[in-house]
Amino acid sequence: MAGLSLNACGITFWATVFLVASTGATPVDSSSSTSRCKVYPGDAAWPSDDAWAKLNKATDNRLLIKPEPQASVCYNGPLYDAAKCAELTTDWGRSYTHFDDPIEMMSPVAQGMTCLPPDVFNSHNCTRGGFPMYVINATEPKHVQLGVDFARETGVRLIIKNTGHDFLGKSGGKDSLSIWTHHFKSIDYIEKFEDEKLGYSGPAFKAGVGVQAFEIYKAAHDKGRAVVGGEGETVGIFGGYIQGGGHSPLSSLYGTGADQVLSFDVVTADGKFVVANSTSNPDLFWAMRGGGGSTFGVATAVTVKAHPDMPTTASRFGFTSEKIGNETFWAGVRTYVDYFIPNADAGTYAYFLLLPNITTGIFSFKMSPFFAPNKTLEQTTTLLQPWFTRLNDLGITFDPNITHFDSYYDAWKSSFPLEVVEKINATTGSRMFPRANFETEAKRDELLNNLRKSSENNRVQVHFNIKAVDPSNADNAVNPAWRPNILFAQQAVRWPVNATSAEILKIRQDFQTGDMQRWRDSSPGAGSYLAEADRLEPNFGQAFFGTNYPRLLELKTKWDPEDVFFVTTGVGSERWKVESVDGLPNENGKLCRVTT
């Protein structure tokens, strides 16, 4: 293993770099263990240009130095270009604009809103904000090892960016060194993968961690297979998604993304390149299946189960309160709640929206889509008919289009639109409502009133009626709240574009003590999903990791005793805080220890 031999001399290599680089004063590595904050520009311990140049050389010239935010073409300075700015403004919403870039994140709010196209949001200036200072455009484990060693030995903050989809901005960090994993793009099909301990014998894919949903779904389809992944076209299935759990249009059949993992190739905090599977580093294997990205190591490849491809039926429809009025509208939504348990138990997935319009006072329900993998048109129609009859009885017109596809891939391609970048004036909170919330008439009434209240408070709601039970009962770190889940619910709070930092903070805090607390109160002991949640979620250890938290914290200390890896709301993150310049929860500030 090239990685091990490299690591054996890694420390010596970096010691040499810093002996050459520093003026001979303090040994550089003292910073990481004792200083209050990570090392930043202006600190005596900040690596010299020469040290960065050595890192660049060692990584085959793959170090990007101060990559510019894309919107710098919109602001006064050497890169100003009105035509390019206009083009960027047009393309801003497309996820491709962001994941193909070494630093951009899908969540501008978490970046700190310091450089956006003025027509999207006028940041009046373009500064780096929560973006990293240096980026290793990694394509080999060796590049990752060098980045991890450099960060550990210098005390510079380390981040990992794959696609940048994380809702909370966990792929950003001011003035950090970033390892960009986007170009680990290999996909290998394994006819027969056997692991007695995991009880799996069957086909598998080994994929580089930069592989995205549209790529693995196509590769799987070509082999007559289907792989568990997210609905979004460009989500990085083998990075943050899979380590954080990951829900899927196939979850009601096969469980979470993390439940599919057979093996990881990982660079750990000590710079070693290891395998984490059921027999090699099994505790790391356990933790990385659900314990969250950028916490225990950097994966470079992941092996997952490959399931048979299957015909799939999908359906889209909707209705609004415009002609029928509020009471009938909510009665219609209420009839649906009666079918959440049977529909999830039947192996289906439903993605639906509840949209308020404060100007018109009109509410909308949008099913987009109801997704029935492995079901014929007839089976799907039979499943939906009892609910449709009740909607008809209420006089609700909803115009269903039920379409059958020969494969999961074709159904997925036709059913889910390309995802867009997140809003500049919104934040999403989430809750996993368990089966207990749907088992009685009274509980279903309570749930409906809960959703209605959020709509009346002008929250945009996105819901997933799914379960996430792994038929093989994998023992892993997936949030236990996924197991009884029936409704994974998201609601977004919005604020005026011109609101001050203090106003935004107040609105966000009120959202947590108001609408989010009401959701928590009605689902005691349940949780939230770490990749689609609010940075202000209180008691994040319980919410994102549940009863696994104490063990995960022990494993964090074992595998990363120096906190080389940090992400906000990650395991062990309570020891650190991003001290943002505007006091808002974002990445635009130094990462410092929480002093007691």
Ligand X SMILES: *[C@@H]1O[C@H](CO)[C@@H](O)[C@H](O)[C@H]1NC(C)=O
Q: Which residues bind ligand X (CB under 6 A)?
A: 64, 102, 125, 127, 137, 139, 183, 195, 253, 263, 275, 277-280, 310, 325-326, 347, 357, 359-361, 374, 401, 403, 414, 424-425, 456, 494-500
**DSSP 8-state code for residue 516:** I
Count the neighbouring beta carbons within 10 Å of the beta carbon of residue 76: 9
Contact between 70 and 547 (Cβ < 8 Å)? no
Query: Considering only 8-16, 73-81, 109-117, 167-175, which stretch makes contact with ligand FAD by CB under 6 A?
Result: 167-175
* Residue from 51, 58, 56 nearest 18 by CA: 51
CB atoms near residue 183 (< 10 Å): 14
Please report, for residues 314, 405, 419, 543, the alpha-carbon distance to residue 410 in angstroms, rounded to integers and kept in the order given: 10, 6, 18, 35
**If contact means CB under 5 to 8 A according to the sort of partner, which of ligand X, ligand FAD, none does residue 33 touch?**
none
The option from ligand FAD, ligand X, none interacting with 231 (CB < 5 to 8 A, set by class) reads: ligand FAD
Among 165, 289, 459, 520, binds ligand FAD (CB under 6 A): 165
Output the CA angle 70-72-77, nearest 5 degrees. Answer: 155
Stretch that binds ligand FAD, among 236-244, 390-398, 433-441, 540-548 (CB under 6 A): 236-244
Pairing of strands 297-305, 261-268: antiparallel
Contact 512, 534 (CB under 8 A): yes
Residue 513 neighbours by CB under 8 Å, 6+ apart:
none
Instruction: Report what 299 binds from ligand FAD, ligand X, none; CB cut-off 5-8 Å by kind.
Output: ligand FAD
299 binds ligand FAD (CB under 6 A): yes
Considering only the stretches 72-80, 135-143, 290-298, 323-331, report the one whose residues sit in contact with ligand FAD under the rule CB under 6 A: 290-298
Partner that binds at residue 255, options ligand FAD, ligand X, none, CB closer than 5 to 8 Å by kind: none
Which token pair is 417? 């639109």
Taking CB under 6 A as the rule, does residue 142 contact ligand FAD? no
| 173 contact, one of ligand FAD, ligand X, none, CB 5-8 Å limit per kind | none
- Strand 158-161 relative to strand 225-226: parallel, antiparallel, unpaired? unpaired
- Is 161 or 221 the residue whose CB approaches ligand FAD more closely? 161
The listed partner (ligand X, ligand FAD, none) that binds 547, CB under 5 to 8 Å by sort, is: none
Q: Which is nearer to ligand FAD, 229 or 332 (CB)?
A: 229
Least distance from ligand FAD to the Cβ atom of residue 133, Å: 16
Residue 274, beta-bridge partner list:
266
Segment interacting with ligand FAD (CB under 6 A) among 77-85, 237-245, 319-327, 577-585: 237-245
* H-type alpha helices, 394-458: 408-415, 441-456
Query: How far is residue 180's CA from residue 160's CA, in Å, rounded to a whole number?
Result: 6
- The Cβ-side half-sphere exposure at 574, using a 13 Å CA radius, reads 14
List 230, 527, 585, 589, residue binding ligand FAD (CB under 6 A): 230
Q: Is 368 in the site for ligand FAD (CB under 6 A)?
A: no
**Nearest residue to ligand FAD on Cβ basis:** 240
**Measured from the CB of residue 165, what is the shortest distance to ligand FAD in angstroms?**
3
Min dist CB 338 to ligand X, Å, is 23
230 interface partner picked from ligand FAD, ligand X, none, CB below 5 to 8 A per type? ligand FAD
Give the closest residue to 288 by CA, choosing from 270, 306, 254, 263: 263
Residues 6+ apart with CB under 8 A from 457: 514, 515
Q: Does 419 bind ligand FAD (CB under 6 A)?
A: yes
Residue 512 binds: one of ligand X, ligand FAD, none (C-beta under 5 to 8 A by kind): none
- Between the alpha carbon of residue 90 and those of residues 113, 118, 119, 256, 581, the distances in Å are 18, 12, 10, 35, 29
> Interface with ligand FAD includes 164 (CB under 6 A)?
yes
> Of 47, 117, 208, 246, which lies in the binding site for ligand FAD, with binding defined by CB under 6 A?
246
Smaller CB separation from ligand X, 303 or 485 = 303
CB 261, min distance to ligand FAD, A? 12
The pair of structure tokens assigned to 85 is 């700015």
Residues in the chain, overall count = 596
Helix (H) or strand (E) holding 298, with range, is strand 297-305
| Window of 3-11, 73-81, 146-154, 228-236 that interacts with ligand FAD by CB under 6 A | 228-236
* Binding footprint of ligand FAD, residue count (CB under 6 A): 33
Structure tokens at 392: 């008809």
* CB-count exposure of residue 434 (10 Å: 0-12, 13-18, 19+): buried
User: In the range 15-44, which residues lie near ligand FAD by CB under 6 A?
Assistant: none
* Residue 253 binding partner per list ligand FAD, ligand X, none, with a CB distance cut-off of 5 to 8 Å that depends on partner kind: ligand X
Query: What's the closest the beta carbon of residue 573 comes to ligand X, in angstroms?
Result: 27
- Which of 374/523 has CB closer to ligand X? 374
Return the residue nearest ligand X (CB atom): 361
Between CA 247 and CA 465 the distance in angstroms is 11
Q: How far is the CB of 44 from ligand FAD (least distance, A)?
A: 28
Residues forming a β-bridge with 304 = 205, 261
Q: How far is the CB of 363 from ligand X (least distance, A)?
A: 7
Q: Which is nearer to ligand FAD, 155 or 169 (CB)?
A: 169
What angle (nearest 5°) sits at the alpha carbon of residue 300, between those of residues 571 and 192?
110
For CA atoms 376, 378, 382, 388, give the dihedral sign. Answer: positive
The nearer residue to ligand X, 48 or 328, going by C-beta atoms, is 328
Rounded distance, CA 204 to CA 324, Å?
Answer: 50
Question: What distance, in Å, lies between the first and last C-alpha atoms of the chain?
Answer: 43
Strand-pair partners of 315 = 370, 402
Q: Which stretch binds ligand FAD (CB under 6 A): 40-48, 192-200, 235-243, 584-592?
A: 235-243
384 DSSP β-pair partners:
none
Q: How far is the CB of 264 from ligand X (least distance, A)?
A: 10
Q: Does 171 bind ligand FAD (CB under 6 A)?
A: yes
List Cα–Cα distances, 428 to 419, 439, 491, 521, in angstroms.
Answer: 15, 27, 6, 18
Could you list the residues that contact ligand FAD (CB under 6 A)? 106, 160-167, 170-171, 181, 209, 230-232, 235-236, 239-241, 243-244, 246-247, 293-294, 298-299, 419, 531-532, 567
